[in-house]
Amino acid sequence: MTEDLKKTGTTILGMVCKDGVIIASERRATTGTLIAHKATKKVYKIDDHLALGTAGLVGDLQVLARYLSAEVNLYRLKRDRNVPIKSAATLMSNILNQRKFYPYYVQLILGGWDSEGGHIFSLDAAGGAIPDKYTAGGSGSPYVFGVLEDQYKDDLTADEGIDIAVRAISAAMERDAASGNGIDVAVITEKKFRMISEDEIKTRLEKFGK
């Protein structure tokens, strides 16, 4: 087994806000107790309206992100419109379910914005796809859920959601040894896909005394 296929330990989250969808993660990749990489990509831009947050084995995650991106691009080329978020979640669910006896070792959060608004889906290795307003995954998820349960509201703006995401991932990084080395946050609105800059994340952390 290669090193890439042994990296585990992650914190990811997703939440739906009234004007956008947030997908966030930290950046540490571990191999047992070794910090194997400090700048691992865990939030993938699948399309301009769709992102994938990933936890699990890096090799599996990269394959699935490429697979989904290709299928979403083919959908747009054939139909001249973006794939609905629910359809993308169903596609990924079917891909995962086909391998349930020799599974991809992953936990995924798929989120984005379509004609019906914002959506997130939590997907497990056997292909289960559960829609929700907010969710978390990976080894740091218990700490993230603590923040989300306390802070999430139905009428959150995307700007408020970014603050909560940064705070939640930061909380996980303080207590989960497999999470750390920075934060990535993607914001998907009706008009655009945006990755939050390092400087903006630092400024938001400073508001919480981090």
Residues forming the active site: 10
Sheet containing 129-132: give its strands across.
43-47, 50-56, 106-114, 117-123, 129-132
Centre a 10 Å sphere on the Cβ of residue 150 and count the other Cβ atoms it contains.
Answer: 10
C-alpha of 49 from chain center: 14
Query: Residue 39: in which H helix or E strand, if any?
Result: none
The torsion region of residue 136 among left (phi > 0), alpha (psi -120 to 50) and beta comes to beta
Q: Are 28 and 36 in contact (CB under 8 A)?
A: no
Q: Quick one: how many helices (H) and strands (E) in the chain?
A: 5, 12
